[in-house]
Structure 1
Amino acid sequence: MKRLLVCLLVLTLAVPGFALAQGGTPVPAGVTGELLYIPFPVAIAVEGDLSDWADVPHYTVDKGPNLSGDPAENGSFTVALAASADTFYITMTMADRNIVAGQHGTNFWNENSLEFYLNLTGDFYAPVYTKGMYQVNINAADIGNTDPGALTLTGTNSDTLPLSGYVFKTDEGWGFEAEVPLAGLFEIAHGAEIGFQAQANGATQTDRDVKLIWSNADTGDTSWQDPTVFGRAIFYELGQTDVPQPSGPPADDESSGGFDWAGLPWGEIVRATWEGYKANYIFCGEQCGNNLGLVFDPNMGYQAVSEGVGYGLLMAVMMDDQATFDTVYDAAHDIMLDPATGLLNWRVDNTGAITGETSATDAEEDIAAALIFAQSRVDRGEWAQHAERPYGDSANALIDAIYTYEVADGRYLTPGDAWDGEGQEILNLSYFAPAWYRIFDDFQGTDRWQPVITYGYRSLFTTDGAPLGLAPDWSTSDGGPAYDYCDAHGRERSACLYEMTFDAIRVPWRIGLDCLWFDEARACQWSGRTAEFLKALPPDQFGRLYDMDGVPVVSYQNEMMDGMWLVASLASGDEELQQQLAQQLYTVTGNALTEGYWGGSAQYYFNQSLAWFGASLLSGDFQNLYSSAD
């Protein structure tokens, strides 16, 4: 569809334009949301005074996925472009009566900020960021800056762009003026074409609640990860009489812009993001408690949760990284263990102080599975046994504790050791890990986990989303909403959602493993339903988070969703869907090999974890190590 729009653009280009005072040369108007013309040479002095922009065409944007109800409060933004012989100029202003700035750390996208995007490569169909593609976020916290070379820039590759400028207040709000010398990056000439996008983030109170986007092709706010949704900008030399047209798609482009999806280096990406994971969440110095050894969450003030311990141990054992495995294992035992139950307290801060008592079942399950895998590496002679706490012994003790304190009536999985309801009044299906339970039974020589598997699948298949392969975050054991429990226990309904959001997005992974590793018919059926649901969606609804009717509840995609839906596609055996989701996941690898993280930010350890699990299954690095222990 995007290629078709470009082809149609050539036919529908509007020729009437603006008159520029310098020489009186008409500048074509372009096509709203698709094409802009950049007049050059124009004399612009970047000094925070917009008077020399008076005769340059300005474009107003008041559309996007999240609009403001008040024109004076993030209701629109303007953008204007110009150039000299070798420098690109841009100014953007925003109507903003209440400027929210400096409230979200480096997450400037979550408050008042203006963004522009450049693709200087000439390849407008590359689905991932490469050298020469830039996302530049300029934020309102820099208002009044006096050093034009010291703006606080964020966004993909923004640190490599030689940008300088000023951020200032206006009568209606705020804005910026900036210049980018293009020598060595791009040669300005009449008809030279670049990819371009402009966006505005607006926070009317605290968090972002307004998003405005210039490019018509970006219907899902995906420009930060997918440069194919940029529009175009063409340099127009003053005094010329012809109107340059945008280029069309390559002649050999059929479905992926000529991009070789078959030969992607998934193993290399998985290794690089594991190294980044360690650097960002385990060994990040003072923020990580001077490398205390746990998995710390930047988005939670660098606290550590037991869930992260499970993720870190699973990653380390799959990556054959015993040193990191033992570091996390030892720290969890020394800092988080509750000796009364043998389970872990669910949260501590980066001094090691407990900030969240009692357990979370999913964490213990993942930790126990990781310990079994570690023991399997010992049994094969790949690892040396832990000198103080043999992995297998710890796995046995932890599995017993899980069964004792986190399973009710021998069949109902509870969210943790301190929840009422006996596993029936409230259930988190993203904690249901049937592949792990089969391994637990085999490892211990029992069959006590079989009823937990039976009742877990029964709950899963009785939810309202079951026909579509969608599971809710929270439910009762009979598949209905758990609102009665939450109301009775003072739990906000927003933390008890009967939708598939940030908890249940893990269900495709949990259930997919049971299909991929054990060929469980119910798991494969579930994954097949999920695949059919995804395949039937229009592009602007694909691969998101949903309610139980399959209606998206967010307007964006990210690496977390990509990784988890990918597991469902692998378990379903649908190769076309696998390719589509692999392609989508690959679009967020722009920082993976160079910076060690997925997407545009390393802020969210949870997103990074789930993306890694999906990619590591794709690369073959995530394996059932226990089955290979013979």
Structure 2
Amino acid sequence: MGAAAVLTAPGSAQAANLLTNPGFESGSLSGWSCSGGLGSVVSSPVRSGTKALAGAAGASDNAKCTQTVAVQPNTAYTLSGWVRGNYVYLGVTGGSSTWTASASEYTRLTVSFTTGASQTSAEIYLNGWYGQGTYYADDVALDGPGGPGGDTEAPSAPGSVRSTAKTSSSVTLAWNAATDNVGVTGYDVYRGSTNVTTVTGTSATVGSLAANTPYSFTVRARDAAGNTSQASTAVSVTTDPVSTTGPNVPFGSHTFPYAAGTIKVSGDQAANDAKVVAYYQQWKAAFVRSDCGNGWSAIASPDADHPYVAEGQGYGLTILATMAGADPNARTTFDAVLKYVLDHPSSIDPDLHAAEQNTACQSVNGGDSATDGDLEIAYALLLADKQWGSTGTYDYKALGVKRINAIKRSEVVAATNLTNLGDWALGEAQWETLSRTSDWLPGHFRAFKKATGDTAWDTIRDKHQTLVANLQSQYAPSTGLLPDFVINTTTSPRPATGQVLESPLDGAYSWNACRDPWRIGVDALTSGDSRSLAAVRTMNGWIKQTTGGNPDNIQQGYRLDGTVAESGSSVAFIAPFAVAAATDPGSQAWLDALWNKLNATPLDTSSYYGSSIQLQVMIAITGNHWLA
């Protein structure tokens, strides 16, 4: 091909267009094929109409979306499209392309080419660039004459459409591949007469269905020329009914007594439980979303770097399993969040969860894992097994054990028996010696040993508890505070100096370590472990004294010597100290003051982090936390 490529200012598109679904207004990727399943149709931002393409480029995939069209030999064509994002490419396979380095608003790209002497088809493409995040495209046009005697033969109908899995809100379908004289490029899945999704493979999950309801599904194949097959033979599937099996540990049953020498908040137990339930209902309404279809629900994180993060899914699953009994739909929601987790595996260790997703629920930033999220997801699966058993749609116990083994394999450093930050850090010299104290969860490690029978988890727990004691003794003897991050874990572990990952306060008691009194404290409450009790009782004695017993005086960040590192008030810092207070029988008045503070703090719908911490602390200090 001969070609010339230019970047033009916004202008009007030409009338002729050989492309199928050029503006994505079908609401699907019909006519397009995107690598890695990373293409989707979104409602915002759009250049015109109501839909646009989003391509979630990651560290290992540039989210290339292609379409093949019939063309005439020795003929000039002009390809154009409107794009938005960093390093977005538009081009013709085997020919030329053009790109823009950075477009914060939709910008038009244009490339012209002349077909070869015997060329009768051309593949056009859009893609982002590795690690540059999601790009958007709209109003793509290929202007020129269509190919003479182009492909008019439709593919055969897909065969043996069948259901391979179902829940109360989703059905997973599979079928045998269709054939075509040129090649099948995609499949349109219909629920009745409605095209609900378009995929390039031979399976799809249809979500947002009603429970215990019959549905009829058909599939049509399509080729690059836009020819579609006859509908497949219909398959009828009835969704599962909503489970009516009651939970084994209904919220408020208080079946698991806390350790001797610990306390709960004062007042009527039923009234206190009701306050937790009321806060939970607000939390669920604010943060549990089902915006992406596919039978998914996910915990939204408006205050995080991305709309959905692994830690949020873990917190959500633990909360949902705990609140069963108070919420009759807890298991249905749990399964929908679990489906989201399972459908977003890490790109490195697929038995772990990809840490971050965008607004289209596509994994971004390489799609690798985050240890904090996986620890919580694994623990929540063990809770679910205790709560509902493992004979329903999901085998919670088997999934939990599988994830626990993956955590040990990819998120615990064998040389130190300490957690790393995610599977991406394993084997990386720069990162293997860094650990985050808020991932040091002795109660979870106990549960993992019990579930797997693997004594390595006793060693892992011991290493973390020993390091907690050493850090407190050497760097915070009067406060007991732990740093966000610890460096030099293979030699002489110590608090981070300056910024090693997130902020200049990485070596201080900041936005990660603020969870430590709660995370270590719940182990102290439930197991009575002497090391966990000692660790959080030191923190409790210091914060009670330094604030004069007034929760309003708790600041949102301290250096390890107790001086204020960041002034201001946040429930993410206030709430965890309540769990530490509950470990000390001499702190009843202080615990009650913290409880009253939490009840006077309204849920902040813009902060999933603080709200999720607050809810789990309220569960713990009312005696509703229990062991997996």
- CA-to-partner distance for each residue in 1:95-132, whole Å, 9 max, x for gaps? xxxxxxxxxxxxxxxxxxxxxxxxxxxxxxxxxxxxxx
Please say if residues 508 and 565 of structure 1, whose CA atoms lie closer than 8 Å, have aligned partners that are also in contact.
yes
Residues 308-457 of structure 1 mapped to structure 2, 5 A cutoff: 308-320=312-324, 321-338=330-347, 340-356=349-365, 357-379=367-389, 385-387=391-393, 389-409=394-414, 411-419=417-425, 420-421=428-429, 425-457=433-465
The counterpart of 2:580, out of the listed 542, 563, 568, is 568
Structure 2: how far apart are the matches of 1:555 and 1:343? 36
The Cα offsets for residues 433-457 of structure 1, whole Å up to 9 and x where unpaired, read as: 1111111111111211122112212
The DSSP-based 3-state class of the residue aligned with 1:603 is coil
Q: Which moved more, 1:537-546 or 1:459-468?
A: 537-546
3-state DSSP of counterpart to 1:529:
helix
Question: How do 1:198-597 and structure 2 match up within 5 A?
Answer: 262-263=267-268, 265-283=271-289, 286=291, 292-300=296-304, 303-320=307-324, 321-338=330-347, 340-356=349-365, 357-379=367-389, 385-387=391-393, 389-409=394-414, 411-419=417-425, 420-421=428-429, 425-463=433-471, 464-476=475-487, 477=489, 478-483=492-497, 486=500, 491=501, 493-494=503-504, 497-539=506-548, 541-542=553-554, 544-573=556-585, 574-588=587-601, 591=602
The question of whether the paired residues in 1 share the 8 Å contact of 2:442 and 2:523 is answered with yes
CA distance in 1, matches of 2:360, 2:342: 15
Partners of 2:346 and 2:355 within 8 A in 1: no
TM-aligned CA distance change 1:546 to 1:484, over 3 Å: closer
CA-to-partner distance for each residue in 1:215-236, whole Å, 9 max, x for gaps?
Answer: xxxxxxxxxxxxxxxxxxxxxx
TM-score (norm 2): 0.51
Instruction: Tell me, in whole angstroms, the C-alpha distance in 1 between the residues paired with 2:569 and 2:293.
Output: 32
Structure 1 residues 606 and 291, CA gap change in structure 2 (3 angstroms): farther
Greater strand fraction, Structure 1 or Structure 2: 2
**Contact 1:408 1:422 survives alignment (8 Å):** no
Match of 1:12? none
Amino acid at match of 1:458: T
Shift of 1:340: 4.1
**Shift, 1:323, TM fit:** 1.1
Alpha-carbon distance change, 570 to 422 in structure 1, aligned in 2, over 3 angstroms: farther
Amino acid of the residue matched to residue 584 of structure 1?
A: K
Give the distance between the partners of 1:421 and 1:459, measured in 2 at CA. Answer: 21
Change (3 A) 1:544 1:579: farther
How far residue 422 of structure 1 moved from its aligned partner, in angstroms, is 8.5
1:478-499, Cα deviation, whole Å (9 max, x unpaired) = 441334893xxxx4653x6111
> How far apart, CA to CA, are the structure 1 residues paired with 2:306 and 2:506?
26
Classify 1:349/1:318 alpha carbon distance in 2 versus 1 (closer, same or farther; 3 Å): same
In structure 1, the residue matched to 2:612 is 609
- Residues 309 and 367, structure 1, Cα contact 8 Å, conserved in 2: yes
Distance, in Å, in 2 between the alignment partners of 1:349 and 1:336 is 15
- Three-state SS of the structure 1 residue aligned to 2:364 is strand
**RMSD of aligned C-alpha atoms?**
2.6
Distance 1:400 1:332, change over 3 A: same
Conserved? CA contact 2:273–2:622, under 8 Å:
yes
Please list the CA deviations of residues 43-86 of structure 1 after superposition, one character each: whole Å capped at 9, or x if unmatched.
xxxxxxxxxxxxxxxxxxxxxxxxxxxxxxxxxxxxxxxxxxxx
The residue number in structure 2 matching 1:61 is none
Alpha-carbon distance between aligned partners in 2 of 1:561 and 1:348, rounded to the nearest angstrom: 26
SS in 2 for 1:475: strand
TM-score of the aligned structures, taking structure 1 as reference length:
0.51
Q: Distance in 1 between matches of 2:334 and 2:307?
A: 19
Structure 1 residues 555 and 339 mapped into 2: Cα distance closer, same or farther (>3 Å)? closer
Which range moved further: 394-403 or 437-446?
437-446
Q: 1:518 offset after TM fit, Å?
A: 1.2
What SS class does the counterpart of residue 424 from structure 2 fall into? coil
Structure 2 CA distance for aligned equivalents of residues 549 and 361 of structure 1: 28
Distance 1:350 1:415 in 2: 24
Q: Is the Cα contact below 8 Å between 1:408 and 1:423 reproduced in 2?
A: no
Contact 1:544–1:554 under 8 Å retained in 2: yes
Change (3 A) 1:292 1:330: closer
Q: Give the conservation status (yes or no) of the 8 Å contact 1:460–1:479.
A: no
Partners of 1:480 and 1:446 in 2: CA distance: 29
Q: Distance in 2 between matches of 1:290 and 1:333?
A: 12
Residues 402, 302 of structure 1: CA spacing in aligned structure 2 closer, same or farther, 3 A cutoff? Answer: closer
Contact 2:303–2:609, Cα closer than 8 Å, also in 1 = no
Instruction: Give the letter for the 2:279 counterpart.
Output: T
Deviation, structure 1 residue 620: 2.5
Percent identical pairs in the alignment equals 22
Query: 1 CA distance for matches of 2:414 and 2:430?
Result: 8
State the alpha-carbon separation in 1 of the partners of residues 456 and 570 from structure 2: 38
Name the CA distance, whole Å, in 2 between partners of 1:308 and 1:455: 27
Local SS of the residue matching 1:572: coil
Residues 438/300 of structure 1: CA separation in 2 closer, same or farther (3 Å cut): closer
CA-to-aligned-CA distance 1:6-53 (integer Å, 9 cap, x gap):
xxxxxxxxxxxxxxxxxxxxxxxxxxxxxxxxxxxxxxxxxxxxxxxx
Q: Deviations over 1:326-380 (max 9, x none)?
A: 110011111345484411110001212112321111111111111011111234x
User: Match of 1:35?
Assistant: none
Q: Which amino acid aligns with 1:602?
A: T
Kindly indicate which of the two structures has a greater share of residues assigned to helix: 1
